[in-house]
Amino acid sequence: MSSRPGPASAGADLARLALTFHHTHQLLDPAAQGVQTWEVRITVADTQVGSLTAVRGLYWKSDNLRERMADEQSFPALVATQLLDEEGRFTYEFEEFIESASSVLVVDGLQLEEAFADPLIVAGVVAAVIDRLTDNYFAVVLPAQNACLGAGSALLAEAGALLSAQEFSDELQIIDNAPAAPEEAAQRVRSRLLSLARHGQPTAWDEEDSEGDGWDEDGEEDEELTARTAAVLRVALEELSEQIWLDIAAVGDAPLGRGEGRVLGSLPPITFHQDQQWRRQMARCFDDLAADLAKNGTVRPGCTGEEMALHLGIDRARALTRNRPRLVAEAVEGLGEDRRDFDWDWCSTVLFEDHDVLMLFDASLDGIEDSGNEINQALGLANLAAADWFDPFRPGQARDPDRGFRHP
Q: Please state, for a pLDDT cut of 70, what percent of the chain lies above it.
A: 91
pLDDT tens-digit series, residues 305-330: 999 999 999 999 999 999 999 999 99
Query: Collapsing DSSP states into helix, strand and coil, what is residue 51?
Result: strand
pLDDT exceeds 60 at position 211:
no
> Who contacts 127 (Cβ-Cβ below 8 Å, separation ≥6)?
163, 186, 189, 190
Query: Collapsing DSSP states into helix, strand and coil, what is residue 199?
Result: helix
* pLDDT range class, residue 205, cuts 50, 70, 90: low
pLDDT tens-digit series, residues 140-156: 999 998 877 777 999 99
Query: Can you say how many angstroms the Cα of residue 169 is from the centroid of all Cα atoms in its chain?
Result: 33
Contact between residue 162 and residue 178 where contact means Cβ atoms under 8 Å apart: no
pLDDT exceeds 50 at position 298:
yes
Nearest Cα to Cα of residue 120 among 251, 2, 291: 2
Q: What is the mean predicted confidence (pLDDT) over 252-271?
A: 92
Contact between residue 362 and residue 384 where contact means Cβ atoms under 8 Å apart: no
pLDDT exceeds 90 at position 290:
yes
- Angstrom CA distances, 387 to 49, 180, 288, 305, 369, stand at 58, 45, 19, 10, 10
The confidence score (pLDDT) of residue 51 equals: 97
The secondary structure of residue 155, as a DSSP letter, is: H
- Of the spans 206-215, 222-231, 242-251, 332-341, which averages the highest pLDDT? 242-251
C-alpha triplet 379, 384, 386: angle, nearest 5°: 160
pLDDT exceeds 50 at position 243:
yes
Residue type, 21: F
pLDDT exceeds 50 at position 7:
no
- Give, for 283, the enclosing helix (H) or strand (E): helix 276-296
The confidence score (pLDDT) of residue 184 equals: 93
* pLDDT range class, residue 223, cuts 50, 70, 90: low
Q: What is the mean predicted confidence (pLDDT) over 84-99?
A: 94
pLDDT tens-digit series, residues 153-164: 999 999 999 999
pLDDT exceeds 60 at position 367:
yes
C-alpha triplet 242, 248, 254: angle, nearest 5°: 155
pLDDT exceeds 90 at position 368:
yes
- pTM: predicted TM-score of the whole model, two decimal places: 0.72
The confidence score (pLDDT) of residue 284 equals: 98
Q: What is the mean predicted confidence (pLDDT) over 334-347?
A: 91
**What is the secondary structure of 331-393 as a DSSP string?**
HTTTPPP-TTTT-HHHHHHHS-S--GGGGGG-GGGTTTTSTTSHHHHHHT--S-SGGGTTS-S
Please count the other Cβ atoms lying within 10 Å of the Cβ belonging to residue 162: 22
Q: Please state, for a pLDDT cut of 90, what percent of the chain lies above it.
A: 73
* Residue 221 to residue 209: CA distance in whole angstroms: 16
